[in-house]
């Protein structure tokens, strides 16, 4: 397809302003004209250039390459247009923001097998529990619980249903007894998780007789690091609460005891999510396909 260089000013305005409305105002055209022009340019380029959500606009890796090329001589710009997305081989830098509780992604095997299968993709994983717009912050995708993902995102299942688990070491229970109801936790030393230093510890959520409720346990020990909570519980420091995947191996070995199981129903699991788009970059498509293959194999 012959390149239409008349579309480049539209793209450049979006790249500079990171906003379709502002780009339209700069060029004296309608927002629709800018949006349609950028889409036509993407069709010519053979890859998505701009990541869009209802809240933010950012350049994809391919878009940044084109933006860089626009500061070079015209011959190089034409070459960049002709090369487009290079080829269908997954390559480039894939940035993913992952919640610290997504054990299925962070445990190692998924990422290790992805790296082996796609040697030309560099994977940059930021573990964070902060809530932010992944597009505005320059991430290609994120991993979070399905119930907190924005509706304008595409969500690919990473796990099946999850459930929380309340655990303590046998040594702690020998000294302090075993809670029989969620309310009994208020009389115990608890170890709580919080997403950040300025955020209150997470309330522990339960369900009894089809009624959901939460308990603010006022933990004596709290942290945003699940590994610290786990190690403290293993050392007999108190009772803690997190997704079952975090504790299951230790429960199976008898190092921790699962408590209050009848009060902890399942809930939707973790998903890889990213902005809606008609075509995925090869690197992100590779991650989506790898997750789907891994789930089928489990």
Question: Tens digits of per-residue pLDDT, 112-154?
Answer: 999 999 999 999 999 998 888 888 788 999 999 988 888 888 9
Task: State the virtual CA torsion across 9, 15, 18, 22 in degrees, nearest 10.
Answer: -20
The pLDDT mean for the chain works out to 86
Least confident interval from 18-22, 106-110, 202-206, 234-238: 18-22
- Which CA distances in Å does 254 have to 192, 213, 250? 22, 29, 6
CATH superfamily of the domain spanning 162-267:
Periplasmic binding protein-like II (3.40.190.10)
Judge whether residue 84 has pLDDT over 60. Answer: no
Arch. (CATH architecture) of 85-160+269-297: 3-Layer(aba) Sandwich (3.40)
On the question of a common fold for 85-160+269-297 and 162-267, the answer reads: yes
Question: Confidence band (pLDDT; 50, 70, 90) for 81?
Answer: low
- Per-residue pLDDT, 105: 94
First CA to last CA distance, the chain: 43
- Per-residue pLDDT, 198: 77
- Per-residue pLDDT, 276: 76
Percent of the chain exceeding pLDDT 70 equals 91
Q: Which CATH number fits domain 5-66: 3.40.50.300, 3.40.50.12280, 3.40.50.2300, 1.10.10.10?
A: 1.10.10.10
User: Can you point out the beta strands (E) in 61-186?
Assistant: 92-98, 121-127, 141-145, 153-157, 164-168
- Per-residue pLDDT, 137: 84
Helices 244-252 and 226-234, interaxial angle, to 10°? 30
Percent of the chain exceeding pLDDT 90 equals 44
Higher pLDDT, 1 or 244: 244
Judge whether residue 158 has pLDDT over 80. Answer: yes
- Per-residue pLDDT, 2: 53
Average pLDDT for residues 45-61, to the nearest whole number? 79
pLDDT digits (tens, 9 = 90+) for 183-215: 999 999 999 998 777 778 888 999 988 888 998
- Per-residue pLDDT, 143: 96
- Per-residue pLDDT, 1: 45
Interatomic CA distance for residues 151 and 170, integer angstroms: 43
- Per-residue pLDDT, 263: 94
Residues in CB range of 168: below 8 A, 6 or more apart:
233, 236, 238, 239, 240, 256, 257, 259
For the chain, give every domain's residue range: 5-66, 85-160+269-297, 162-267
Average pLDDT for residues 267-288, to the nearest whole number? 86
Interatomic CA distance for residues 37 and 25, integer angstroms: 15
> Does the predicted TM-score (pTM) go above 0.85?
no
């Amino acid at each position: 397809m012959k390149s239409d260089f008349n579309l480049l000013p539209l793209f450049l305005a979006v790249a500079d302003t990171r906003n379709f409305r502002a780009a339209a105002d700069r060029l004296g055209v309608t927002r629709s004209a800018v949006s349609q022009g950028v889409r036509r340019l993407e069709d010519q380029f053979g890859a998505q250039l701009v990541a869009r959500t209802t809240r933010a606009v950012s350049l994809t890796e391919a878009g940044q390459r084109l933006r860089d090329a626009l500061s070079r001589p015209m011959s190089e710009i034409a070459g960049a247009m002709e090369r487009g997305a290079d080829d269908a081989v997954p390559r480039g830098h894939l940035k993913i923001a992952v919640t610290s509780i997504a054990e299925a992604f962070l445990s190692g095997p998924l990422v290790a097998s992805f790296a082996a299968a796609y040697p030309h993709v560099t994977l940059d994983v930021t573990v964070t529990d902060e809530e932010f717009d992944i597009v505005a912050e320059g991430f290609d995708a994120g991993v979070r619980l399905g119930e907190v993902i924005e509706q304008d995102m595409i969500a690919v299942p990473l796990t099946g249903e999850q459930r929380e688990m309340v655990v303590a070491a046998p040594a702690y229970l020998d000294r302090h007894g075993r809670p029989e109801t969620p309310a009994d936790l208020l009389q115990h030393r608890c170890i709580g998780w919080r997403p950040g230093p300025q955020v209150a510890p997470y309330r522990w959520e339960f369900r009894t007789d089809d009624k959901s409720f939460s308990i603010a346990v006022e933990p004596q020990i709290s942290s945003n690091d699940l590994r610290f909570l786990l190690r403290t519980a293993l050392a007999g420091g108190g009772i803690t609460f997190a997704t079952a995947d975090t504790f299951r191996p230790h429960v199976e070995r008898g190092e921790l005891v699962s408590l209050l199981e009848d009060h902890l129903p399942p809930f939707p699991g973790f998903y890889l999510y990213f902005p809606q788009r008609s075509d995925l970059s090869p690197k992100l498509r590779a991650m989506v396909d790898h997750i789907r293959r891994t789930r089928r194999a489990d």
